[in-house]
Amino acid sequence: MKAFLYSGLFLGLTVVIAGCGSNTTDDPIPGPVLAVSQHLTLGNPSGATTDASQPTNYLLVKPQYALSYHRDRGTPNWVSWHLTSADLGSASRQDDFRADNTLPTGWYQVQSTSYTGSGFDRGHNCPSADRTATVADNSATFLMTNMIPQAPHNNQRTWANLENYTRTLVSTTQEVYVIMGSYGKGGTGSNGAQSTIDQGRVTVPARIWKVVVVLPIGDNDASRVTTSTRIIAIDTPNDNTVSSNWGSYRTTVDAIEVATGLDLLSAVSASVQSTVESRVDTGPTQ
């Protein structure tokens, strides 16, 4: 947790500096800040880096989302993305599931066919429908580094409902940050329980979680999270008995942090985190 905290603070600081790009009184800062993504504005939950010698927490930053990849699970630990009305356009679903060839040389690349016959869906973390501004944006969501083996009812009911609801929160006056991840080992799909698929190269997570942060449109977003900001956190079992009502899985960010060892929202001030992360959302679910 200490290592995570340090990295989180570091990234939080660089995000603040990078945010000055929209402030005409400040000059752009060259150097490492260029590596920081809008998708990590609220923090890098595991202090992931692009160091290939850390294969269980490897940072992949794409224009459309950022993630921490776990080579040995064959899945992301978490995926984080910023969602605004500018991301929602008319590009159609590309369905071009494919291996991510940007992983370090020599790492196994999960294939478009790796889940075939497993009884689990290729479940998006950053959803296809959150990236429809351009064909390239939509296509990027079909990289297998953005997928987990997800029980079909979890994916097509619970998750689809929360994804659809989240997009209704995005407007000309509101923007959203989403962080999704999974942990544990062993889920139950349409062919029964499995702990791994693809000859052991992909771990089936036991639990799938999501955190949604809703903000009015503005700049310096991490500093605008307050004790009254709506934050939805859910944690669900990866099985087909899951309820379609995502609201019944609401929990605290703190509980997800305890279960995963992550520090979510690390770029938000510690005092605000302590309040918002211990609260369970009671807002509408549709």
Is residue 260 within 8 Å of 5, Cβ to Cβ?
no
CA distance 148 to 204: 7
- 12: enclosing H helix or E strand: helix 2-18
CA distance 125 to 182: 9
Q: Please identify, using beta-carbon distances, which residue of 175 and 263 lies nearer to Mn ion.
A: 263
Q: Please identify, using beta-carbon distances, which residue of 82 and 124 lies nearer to Mn ion.
A: 124
Is residue 275 within 8 Å of 252, Cβ to Cβ?
no
- Nearest distance, CB of residue 127 and Mn ion, angstroms: 6
Is residue 158 within 8 Å of 243, Cβ to Cβ?
yes
- Considering only the stretches 30-38, 78-86, 167-175, 261-269, report the one whose residues sit in contact with Mn ion under the rule CB under 5 A: 261-269
The two tokens of residue 99 are 């291996």
CA distance 20 to 41: 13
Q: Catalytic residue at 153?
A: no
- Nearest distance, CB of residue 159 and Mn ion, angstroms: 5
CA distance 170 to 187: 32
Q: Please identify, using beta-carbon distances, which residue of 132 and 155 lies nearer to Mn ion.
A: 155
- 155 is a site residue for Mn ion (CB under 5 A): yes
Query: Quick one: which of 264, 267, 272, 276 contacts Mn ion (CB under 5 A)?
Result: 264
- Nearest distance, CB of residue 150 and Mn ion, angstroms: 6
Residues in region 111-140 near Mn ion by CB under 5 A: 123-124
Residue 133: half-sphere exposure toward Cβ, Cα within 13 Å:
9
Rg of the chain over all Cα atoms, to the nearest angstrom: 18
Catalytic residue among 39, 70, 82, 124: 124
Q: Please identify, using beta-carbon distances, which residue of 155 and 203 lies nearer to Mn ion.
A: 155
Query: Quick one: which of 256, 265, 267, 276 contacts Mn ion (CB under 5 A)?
Result: 265
Q: Please identify, using beta-carbon distances, which residue of 75 and 155 lies nearer to Mn ion.
A: 155
By CB under 5 A, how many residues form the interface with Mn ion?
8
- Nearest distance, CB of residue 155 and Mn ion, angstroms: 4
Residue that is written with structure tokens 């992983």 in the block: 103
Per DSSP, the residues of 166-230 read HHHT-SSSEEEEEEEEEESS-EEETTEEESEETTTTEEPPSEEEEEEEEEES-SSHHHH--TTSE
Q: Please identify, using beta-carbon distances, which residue of 37 and 273 lies nearer to Mn ion.
A: 273
- Nearest distance, CB of residue 26 and Mn ion, angstroms: 28
State the pairing for strand pair 121-124/66-70. unpaired
- Nearest distance, CB of residue 29 and Mn ion, angstroms: 26
- 75 is a site residue for Mn ion (CB under 5 A): no
- 273 is a site residue for Mn ion (CB under 5 A): yes
Kindly list the residues in this chain that would bind Mn ion in the complex (CB under 5 A).
Answer: 123-124, 155, 159, 263-265, 273
Give me the active site residues, please. Answer: 124
